[in-house]
């Protein structure tokens, strides 16, 4: 059975509260050998740390752009203190999830930018890569990275242009692909996932969000009583099979290369995850 790394899974989300350990066990049984669990706000740090340590997985610490509105002005300084205390924890692999979101209405763009750049500075200070939230914000994220360079990382749930993809790759980033590429109508995303160098790709679920097509229910189906399927890390091998089919690759080849890519993007995974 191929072994996989889910480079982006919110195992600490409320949707997993009743059965997080069982969800992790199911993922392991499906071949998902390792998870990266990014925090979305400072208050989530203890939960992601505990989950990663309990299951032998990894975590990232950061303030997500969607949470900047309720973050305190002192939260970046407090995050720095948490990162300092965790500096020698081998389970800590990145600063994240950080970034910019210009899709959701009502967010303060200037405040997002402030938190983004401050957290890039933390990544530099602690010599860590970053896990980036990219939603209609690729050019601004790239501008920030050119002005505050970091060692690289992952552009999570990438769905930008070919030129933007090349720019992230040139800055040392891998591009995260997940359930969105399983939809036949996602033509641009599928073109990217097929045409980009295989060395640039990592796999992720973003569980419990970003469900693959076989879990998705339309509004009409939900109104008729069909519940939305919960995305989980155990779905990663099925998502990977779609990508392997699109690229005409053996599944083992895709597993080995995306694992190597994840280790390159997040160097502290090395020695903890076998190729």
Q: Binding site for a divalent metal cation, residues? A: 8, 10, 97, 133, 156, 206
Establish if 20 belongs to a structural domain: yes
Structure confidence at residue 226 (pLDDT): 82
Contact 60, 97 (CB under 8 A): yes
249 pLDDT band, cuts 50/70/90, is very high
Establish if 274 belongs to a structural domain: no
Structure confidence at residue 222 (pLDDT): 82
Instruction: Give percent of the chain with pLDDT exceeding 90.
Output: 93
Residue-averaged pLDDT of the chain: 96
Establish if 151 belongs to a structural domain: yes
Q: Binding site, residues? A: 8, 10, 97, 133, 156, 206
Structure confidence at residue 274 (pLDDT): 60
Angle between helices 109-125 and 138-147 (to 10 degrees): 40
Q: 75-87, pLDDT tens digit by residue?
A: 999 999 999 999 9
144 strand-pairing partners: none
Domain count, the chain: 1
Establish if 22 belongs to a structural domain: yes
> pTM for this structure?
0.97
* Rounded average pLDDT over 140-166: 98
Instruction: Give percent of the chain with pLDDT exceeding 70.
Output: 99
Say whether pLDDT at 275 is over 60.
Answer: no
Establish if 232 belongs to a structural domain: yes
Establish if 103 belongs to a structural domain: yes
Beta-strand pair 130-135/153-156: parallel
Establish if 275 belongs to a structural domain: no
Establish if 75 belongs to a structural domain: yes
* Rounded average pLDDT over 108-113: 97
Owning domain of residue 83: 4-269
Which CATH number fits the domain that encloses residue 131? 3.20.20.140
Q: Give the residue, 209 or 225, on which the prediction is more confident.
A: 209
């Amino acid at each position: 059975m191929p072994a996989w790394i889910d480079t982006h899974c919110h195992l600490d989300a409320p949707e997993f509260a009743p059965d997080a350990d069982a969800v992790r066990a199911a993922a392991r049984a499906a071949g998902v050998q390792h998870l990266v669990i990014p925090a979305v706000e400072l208050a989530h740090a203890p939960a992601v740390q505990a989950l990663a340590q309990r299951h032998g997985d990894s975590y990232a610490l950061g303030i997500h752009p969607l949470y900047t509105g309720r973050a305190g002005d002192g939260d970046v300084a407090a995050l720095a203190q948490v990162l300092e205390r965790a500096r020698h924890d081998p389970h800590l692999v990145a600063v994240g999830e950080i970034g910019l979101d210009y899709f959701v209405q009502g967010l303060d763009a200037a405040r997002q930018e402030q938190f983004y750049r401050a957290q890039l500075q933390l990544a530099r200070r602690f010599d860590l890569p970053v896990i980036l939230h990219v939603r209609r914000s690729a050019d601004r994220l790239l501008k920030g990275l050119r002005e505050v360079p970091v060692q690289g990382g992952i552009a999570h749930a990438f769905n930008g242009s070919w030129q933007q993809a090349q720019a992230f790759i040139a800055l040392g980033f891998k591009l995260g692909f997940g359930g969105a590429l399983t939809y036949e109508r996602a033509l641009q995303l599928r073109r990217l996932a097929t045409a980009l160098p295989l060395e640039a790709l990592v796999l992720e679920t973003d569980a419990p969000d970003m469900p693959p097509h076989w879990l998705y229910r339309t509004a009409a189906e939900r109104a008729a009583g069909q519940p939305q399927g919960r995305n989980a890390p155990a779905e990663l091998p099925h998502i990977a099979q779609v990508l392997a089919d699109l690229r005409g690759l053996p599944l083992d080849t895709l597993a080995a290369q995306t694992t190597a890519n994840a280790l390159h993007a997040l160097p502290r995974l090395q020695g903890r995850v076998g190729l």
